[in-house]
Amino acid sequence: MSKGTIKKVAGPLVIAQGMRDANMYDVCRVSDQRLIGEIIEIHGDQASVQVYEETSGLGPGEPVESTGAPLSVELGPGLIGSIFDGIQRPLETIMAVSGNNLQRGVEVPSLNREKSWHFVPSVKAGDKVTGGDIIGSVQETKIVSHKIMVPNGIIGTVKSIEEGDFTVTQTVAVIENENGGESALSLMQSWPVRKGRPYKEKLPPDMPLVTGQRVIDTLFPIAKGGVAAVPGPFGSGKTVVQHQLAKWAEADIVVYIGC
């Protein structure tokens, strides 16, 4: 963790000095309002911080604190049906805290820390597991069973695991490695946004995604696991196509990102 002060402010860019111990892409809290930002450049003890909130009113000498951790997202039960801003702050929770006007520096967890989820294990004590293995599931919605996986980099034997109701931060299983060290697993994982999720094998797309739009399915078929682009000028209907796909496509989960 590194602490410095603001040297210069230029729109969303803040130049901070005294940040020699900071690292690239560290999350920072800027000023006493604790605005969230990310280090995008370092020269000596000066760091350029991209602030993701309104910077009006900031000035030289105000504190800048690096958290020592990269910008990350929380992955776990509770994502489905939620509405987030670009840095995974839950807008409905923020509205309950600050009202209709989004206040600067609001700090709320991305996933609900109080709601309990019923966890059903699929492994037992004594089983050997590694990163990516499924240890159980949570019925997040009527149609979505949320698989709980061993975090990447953890290898060992299940020391304890039990069925029951847990919040996303409570321990549901303990993994013991070959050296006797233990890792406590919860329903939630934190993952850096700039780091791709690991995978064992990449499967070629060979099944059609039925979109429910006859002109697309007939003339421009899309494959499951594939990518499609809808270019066009203002008012041509790009967003309407997105809405139609979200409503009628053969998919259980739709993630809509608007900007």
Residue pLDDT, tens place only, 159-204 = 999 999 999 999 999 999 999 899 999 999 999 999 999 988 889 9
Do residue 213 and residue 182 come from a single domain? no
Res 78 pLDDT > 80: yes
Give residue 235's pLDDT: 93
Confidence at 257, pLDDT banded by 50, 70, 90: confident
Do residue 167 and residue 124 come from a single domain? yes
Q: Is residue 228 part of a domain?
A: yes
Q: Which domain holds residue 228?
A: 208-248
Across 81-94, average pLDDT: 92
Which H or E run includes 88?
Answer: none
Res 39 pLDDT > 90: yes
Do residue 131 and residue 179 come from a single domain? yes
Give residue 155's pLDDT: 95
CATH no. for residue 41?
Answer: 2.40.30.20
Across 44-50, average pLDDT: 95
pLDDT, mean over the chain? 93
Any residues with CB less than 8 A from the CB of 59 and at least 6 apart, and which?
6, 9
**Separation between Cα atoms, residue 111 and residue 77, nearest integer Å:** 8
Q: Is residue 162 part of a domain?
A: yes
Q: Is residue 198 part of a domain?
A: no
Q: Is residue 66 part of a domain?
A: yes
Give residue 62's pLDDT: 96
Do residue 126 and residue 174 come from a single domain? yes
Res 259 pLDDT > 80: no
Q: Which of 151, 254, 157 is nearest to 211 (CA)?
A: 254
**Residue positions counted in the chain:** 259
Do residue 165 and residue 219 come from a single domain? no
Give residue 69's pLDDT: 94
Do residue 7 and residue 49 come from a single domain? yes
Domain finish residue from 186, 219, 239: 186
Q: Are strands 13-17 and 46-51 parallel, antiparallel or unpaired?
A: antiparallel
Give residue 97's pLDDT: 84
Dump the DSSP string for 82-143: --B-TT--BHHHHHHHH-SS--TT----SS-SS--EEEEESS-TT-EE-TT-EEEEEE-SSS
Domain finish residue from 14, 36, 70: 70
pLDDT over 70, % of the chain: 100
Across 240-254, average pLDDT: 93
Q: Is residue 63 part of a domain?
A: yes
Q: Is residue 121 part of a domain?
A: yes
Give residue 141's pLDDT: 93
Q: What is the pTM of this model?
A: 0.86
Across 65-75, average pLDDT: 95
Q: How many domains does the chain have?
A: 3
Across 208-231, average pLDDT: 94
DSSP state of 199: -
Kindly provide the b/e burial profile for residues 136-166, where b requires at least 16 CB atoms within 10 angstroms of the residue's own CB: bbbebeeebebebbbeeebebebeebeeeeb
CATH no. for residue 179?
Answer: 2.40.50.100
Give residue 101's pLDDT: 82
Q: Is residue 81 part of a domain?
A: no
Give residue 98's pLDDT: 84
Domain finish residue from 70, 93, 125: 70
Q: Is residue 78 part of a domain?
A: no
Give residue 210's pLDDT: 96
